[in-house]
Amino acid sequence: MSRLPESIHRLVEELRKLPGVGPKTAQRLAFHLVVSGKESMDRLIAALAEARDKVGYCSVCGNLTDQDPCAICEDPKRDSSVICVVAYPKDVLAFERAGAFRGLYHVLHGYIEPLKGIGPEELRIQELLKRVSSGEVKEIILATNPDVDGETTALYLARALKPLGLKVTRLARGLPFGADLDYADEMTILKSLEARREMD
Amino acid sequence: MNISFLLLKDFRNYRHLELRLEPGVSLFFGRNASGKTNLLEACYYLSSLTSVRAERDHDLCRWGAKAFAAGCRVDDDGSSKTIKVQVAVEPALRRKVTVDDVPVRRSELIRVLPAVYFSPDDLYMIKRSSASRRKFLDSLLGRIDPEYARRLSRYQDALARRNNVLKKIRSDPSWRRTLESLDGILVEAGSMVTARRLTAMGDLQREVSETYAFIAGRPCGVSYASSIGVGEVGGDLEDISRKFEESLQAKREEETARGITLSGPHRDDIVLTLGGKEVRYFGSQGEQRSAALALKLAEAKMLEGAFGRKPVLLLDDVLSELDEYRRKKVLSLCDYGHQILITATDPIEDLAPDVTEFRVQDGSVEPYEGGGMA
Ligand SMILES: Nc1ncnc2c1ncn2[C@@H]1O[C@H](COP(=O)(O)OP(=O)(O)OP(=O)(O)O)[C@@H](O)[C@H]1O
Ligand SMILES: [Mg+2]
Ligand SMILES: [Zn+2]
């Protein structure tokens, strides 16, 4: 495909940067968009622009939102004495889909990953410590992955939180070793939430 | 138990092979590069889905082909089972594994077809560094107990991260608290690995000593050298965890200075001795060969203990290196119910009373009726 019009070529290159999209898929998507007509492309452009302008991170929990604080943090019906700590916004989505959790979230934006040189300073840990210092929070649920990076992060947090007199719990290993939260089905999430155990 | 039929399609240099096999001893002879090792490799692959020499399944696929298949029928006590493995390597790797046409996990295969692969390189287990002996033990335990393989891989994950953190601490002490968290994971996984190894050592000691005596006429000593100072056999998990933690504490300074983890199952060793002297340093060539052979025969015994079937013994080029006495000893194992598949470059006279012989040539295998020129 050497004779692609320059503008389509640029579109393909941008699409390729998306996760799970290889060169062939990118090309198929680009052709599909181009032939789908002006109207449908305008809608996509408008949606992209809106997301760019409105979506940001919640200043309280770090989740993706188009209002600050986010709808979950602002919801008076949610139990503000429990915070579920996750690594990424997609993990919040997994919990919300399962629909079992009525507390608040805290998104770390990553794991401690020594192999990539990512240390605790690069995560939203200070923000979490500040949040719990108000005294309203009674329990922290650590919902990090069961792999080594997830476990390291959980142990690190437990050590930092325990001295503050909080109940610190960990999701039960209903999830097999190394399995990611966002691949787990709703039933698994429910069960591992129910069977969470206190960390010592 | 024995393989009674083997089928290969586009496996290494075999386009298509259908081979009937008898219980007892089979000898495959042929020139270098004719396909003898490939044949034994296929048998081992059907037992473990791993190759004795390739890292990736891609290498097993005949050059130019996009998929390969291997299958066999295994007879045991009048009943028989069929293993089939179909692998597409292009466009992406896809494997289909069945026993009697029912899809199974990898770890099921060894229950149907336990197999041990012997090669002249086994000698390295005796001569080289502790890594090769750990690999022997880890591979054996991983096949007997898939849970062990998972724990070991978790331990190795934690270890790689810990070593990284140790190196970082030198310039940035704030990593210390991450180190403490990693230590928890390292100790938990590492203690379970150590405990499982120590349990296995009890059996391994007995089997190695017995098989060494069987092939060389005297017993051989085997012990586990632990970097955290836990006892030979037994030792409960708590005790191991405590010793592991203490050892990490004691070496903390040296570890940060060197940037590596100095205690744990990755630093342990299996030590073989004859008359109290280490075979690795003091054994003669022959004694070292016998020790290597004893380790592998012990592996066969351990697999038999775990799965209740006599493993197929795959002897690749090893017979030519044994003297008459030890050769007879090894071959006599077929009287105890082991099927033995042997490769050699030439037919071997008077190998054993009823050997089935095959000539291997350019990826084809033909029955060979005696070497007489008459
Ligand atoms: N993926 C493959 N596709 C086709 N041929 C292959 C493949 N991998 C290896 N071969 C070839 O298979 C041939 C036979 O290899 P094999 O190791 O079985 O020989 P061998 O009979 O054991 O020889 P030796 O006596 O030297 O040990 C080699 O020439 C090798 O190049
Ligand atoms: Mg060979
Ligand atoms: Zn929020």
**In this structure, what CATH number is given to the domain that contains residue B369?**
3.40.50.300
Instruction: Give mean pLDDT, residues B231-238.
Output: 72
Report the range of poorest mean pLDDT among B61-70, B71-80, B164-173, B320-329: B320-329
Options 3.30.110.60, 2.40.37.10, 3.40.1360.10, 3.30.565.10; CATH for A64-198 is 3.40.1360.10
Chain-chain contact of B157 with A147 (C-beta, under 8 angstroms):
yes
**Ligand 1 atom, smallest distance to B62 CA:** 3
**Which domain-ending residue is among B285, B307, B329?**
B307
Whole-number pLDDT of residue A174: 57
Nearest bound ligand to the CA of residue B42: 1
What are the phi and psi torsion angles at B7 (to 5°)? Answer: -130, 130
| Residue A175 confidence (pLDDT) above 60 | no
- The 10s digit of each residue's pLDDT in A26-62 is 999 999 999 998 999 999 999 999 999 999 999 999 9
CATH code linked to domain A6-54: 1.10.8.420
Q: What is the DSSP string of B335-361?
A: GGT--EEEEESS--TT--TTEEEEEEE
Tell whether B281 and B161 lie within a shared domain: yes
In this prediction, residues B193-217 reach a mean pLDDT of: 94
Q: CB within 8 A of A200, min separation 6: which ones?
A: none
Q: What is the pLDDT of residues B75-126, one digit of tens each?
A: 998 999 999 999 999 889 999 999 999 999 999 999 999 999 999 999 999 9
- pLDDT higher than 80, residue B292: yes
Worst-scoring range by mean pLDDT, A3-7, A91-95, B252-256?
Answer: A3-7
Considering chain A, tell me which residue range(s) the CATH 3.40.1360.10 domain(s) occupy. Answer: 64-198
Domain count within chain B: 2
Does the distance separating the beta carbons of B157 and A114 come in below 8 Å? no
- Structural domain span for residue B280: 124-307
Of B150, B164, B177, the CB nearest to A114: B164
Paired strand residues for B29: B344, B359
Q: Which residue ranges does chain A devote to CATH 1.10.8.420?
A: 6-54
> Which residue in B313, B295, B304 sits closest to B122, CA to CA?
B295
**Same domain assignment for residues B251 and B266:** yes
Closest CA to B17 of B367, B365, B369, B368: B365
Query: Within a domain: residue B371?
Result: yes
Sequence-separated (6 or more) residues with CB below 8 Å from residue B74:
B1, B2, B3, B4, B80, B81, B82, B83, B112, B113
Residues B55 and B142 in one domain: no
Distance CA B132, CA B119 (A): 14
Q: Which of A160, A100, A165, A101 is nearest to A138 (CA)?
A: A165
CB under 8 Å, gap of 24 or more: what pairs does A126-135 form?
A127/A62, A128/A83, A128/A85, A128/A157, A129/A160, A129/A161, A129/A164, A131/A60, A131/A83, A131/A106, A132/A83, A132/A161, A132/A164, A132/A166, A133/A164
Based on the fold, state whether residues B370 and B260 are members of the same structural domain. Answer: no
Q: Give the residue-averaged pLDDT of B33-60.
A: 96
Q: Tell me the CA distances in angstroms from B72 to B3, B75, B106, one per residue in order.
A: 7, 10, 15
Q: Looking at the complex, report in whole angstroms how far the Cα of residue A51 sits from the nearest Cα belonging to chain B.
A: 35
| pLDDT over 90 percentage in chain B | 85
Distance B46 CA to ligand 1 centre (A): 18
Q: What is the residue whose two structure tokens read 């081992």? A: B44
- Based on the fold, state whether residues B273 and B334 are members of the same structural domain: no
The confidence band for A190, taking pLDDT boundaries of 50, 70 and 90, is confident
Mean pLDDT value of segment B169-196: 95
**Cα separations (Å) of B367 from B33, B279, B352, B361, B371?**
19, 41, 17, 11, 12
Q: Is residue B324 part of a domain?
A: yes
Q: What are the C-alpha distances in Å from B363 to residues A21, B14, B72, B317?
A: 41, 5, 17, 18
Nearest CA in chain B to A176: B150
The pLDDT, as a whole number, for residue A137 is: 95
pLDDT at A172 over 90: no
Does B128 reside within a domain?
yes
In a domain, residue B259? The reply is: yes
pLDDT band at B353 (very low <50, low <70, confident <90, very high): confident
- Is residue B361 in some structural domain? yes
DSSP B69: E
With 0-12 CB in 10 A as exposed, 13-18 as middle and 19+ as buried, what is B48? buried
Q: Which of B147, B161, B172, B174 to mutate to test the interface with A (most CBs of A within 10 A)?
A: B161
Mean pLDDT of chain A: 91
Q: Mean of the pLDDT values across residues B172-192?
A: 95
pLDDT at B229: 87
Ligand 1 pocket check for B345: Cβ under 6 Å? yes
Which chain B residues contact residue A114 at CB under 8 A? 161-162, 164-165, 168, 175, 178, 182
CATH number, position B201: 1.20.1050.90
**Minimal-distance CA residue to ligand 1 atom 27:** B32
Average pLDDT of every residue of chain B: 93
Ligand 1 in contact with B37 (CB < 6 A)? yes
pLDDT reading at B267 higher than 60: yes
What does the pLDDT read at residue B373? 40
What does the pLDDT read at residue B129? 92
Domain end residue (candidates: B307, B335, B357): B307
Which residues on B lie below 8 Å from A153 (Cβ)? Answer: 181
Confidence of residue B371 (pLDDT cuts 50, 70, 90): low
Q: Tell me how far the alpha carbon of residue B345 lies from the centroid of ligand 2, in angstroms.
A: 9
| Residue B323's pLDDT band (cuts 50, 70, 90) | confident
CA of A69 to the centre of ligand 3 (A): 5
Alpha-carbon gap: A114 to the closest alpha carbon of chain B (Å): 5
Query: How sure is the predictor about B41, in pLDDT bands with cuts at 50, 70 and 90?
Result: very high
Does residue B119 fall inside a structural domain?
no
**A contact test, residue of B153, B178, B186 with most A CBs within 10 A:** B178
pLDDT digits (tens, 9 = 90+) for B275-290: 999 999 999 999 999 9
Per-residue model confidence (pLDDT) at position A186? 80
Cα dist from A24 to A12, A16, B103, whole Å:
9, 9, 32
Same structural domain, B281 and B159: yes
Other C-beta atoms closer than 10 Å to the C-beta of B152 total: 22
Q: Would you place residue B232 in the very low, low, confident or very high pLDDT band (cuts 50, 70, 90)?
A: low
Top pLDDT among B349 and B198 is at: B198
B47 lines ligand 1 (CB under 6 A): no
**Residues B128 and B96 occupy one common structural domain:** no
DSSP state string for B245-284:
HHHHHHHHHHHHHHTS--SSGGG-EEEEEETTEEHHHH--
**Structure tokens that stand for B44 in this block:** 């081992």
Q: Is the per-residue pLDDT at A157 higher than 80?
A: yes
Chain A residues in contact with B168 by the CB 8 A cut-off are 114, 117, 119
pLDDT at B234: 57
Residue A152 has its nearest CB partner, among B150, B168, B182, at B182
Q: Are residues B104 and B133 in the same domain?
A: no
- Given a cut of 80, whether residue B350 has pLDDT beyond it is no
Determine which residue's CA is closest to atom 11 belonging to ligand 1: B13
Residue A178 pLDDT exceeds 50 = no
Residue whose pair of structure tokens reads 């704030």 in the numeric block:
B174
Beta carbon pairs, A and B, within 8 Å: 51
The tokens for B273 are 């001795």
CB contact under 8 A, A121 and B182: no
B209: pLDDT strictly greater than 80: yes
State pLDDT tens for residues A120-129.
Answer: 999 999 999 9
Residue ranges near ligand 2 (ion) with Cβ within 5 Å: B 37
Query: What's the pLDDT score for residue A123?
Result: 97
Inter-residue contact A150 to A86 (CB < 8 Å): no
Give me the pLDDT at residue B43, please: 98
| Band (A177; pLDDT cuts 50, 70, 90) | very low
Contacting residues of A for B181, CB less than 8 Å apart: 112, 152-153, 155-156, 159
B277-292 burial, b at 16+ Cβ within 10 Å, e below that, comes to eebbeebeeebbbbbb
> Ligand 1, from B15, B17, B37: best to mutate by most atoms within 8 Å of Cβ?
B37
Q: Where is the domain boundary, B287, B307, B327?
A: B307
Residue-wise pLDDT tens digits, A104-141: 999 999 999 999 999 999 999 999 999 999 889 999 99
Q: Which residues contact B210 (CB under 8 A, 6 or more apart)?
A: B219
Whether B257 and B338 share a structural domain: no
